[in-house]
Amino acid sequence: MKVFDTNAVLRYILQDDEKMADVVEDHLKQGDSFIPTEVIAEVVYVLNGVYQVPRQEITAVISGVLMEDVSVTNAAVIIKGLETFATTTLDFVDCLMIGYQYDGNIVFTFDKKLKKMLEKLSAG
């Protein structure tokens, strides 16, 4: 299995180094690829914070990468996290926590903003 790090995923998404992007694409097409949740979180952070990519675009682009026959841990959590990230102002890790609750887990937090969103999810 090939495990991709943040730098590799960013090169593929940003296409800012054609050779590196092509190498990543070739490996993704071969299958047996894994992107850890931590890497996805860091990619979201860099795209949003450093490159100022809009949230909806980040969600679309990462969802596209995940369609490339890539394995991830907790796919349902990541997808719900991305959907939440696109429509809120929460940071991505908080959005992942919403994904965990959506997936049937109980999330414990002192974060008031996150707690309010989690309560809405529980009520709805």
**Mean pLDDT in order along the chain per 10 residues (124 residues):** 98 98 96 96 98 98 92 95 97 98 96 94 78
Q: What is the CA radius of gyration of the chain?
A: 15
* Residues 49 and 91 occupy one common structural domain: no
Torsion angle, alpha carbons of 65, 20, 23, 37, to 10: -40
pLDDT the model gives residue 123? 81
The closest alpha carbon to 49, from 5, 18, 80, 93, belongs to 93
Work out how many domains the chain is built from and give that number: 2
- In the chain, the amino acid numbered 105 is N
pTM of the model: 0.94
* Residues 87 and 106 occupy one common structural domain: yes
pLDDT the model gives residue 59? 98
* Residues 81 and 67 occupy one common structural domain: no
Residues 6+ apart with CB under 8 A from 76: 99, 102, 103
* Residues 64 and 83 occupy one common structural domain: no
Domain holding 119, by residue range, is: 75-123
> DSSP letters along 81-118, please?
HHHHHHHSSS-HHHHHHHHHHHTTPPP----HHHHHHH
Scan for tokens 């959005």, then name that residue: 95
* Residues 83 and 50 occupy one common structural domain: no
**Rounded to whole angstroms, how far apart are CA atoms 4 and 29?**
13
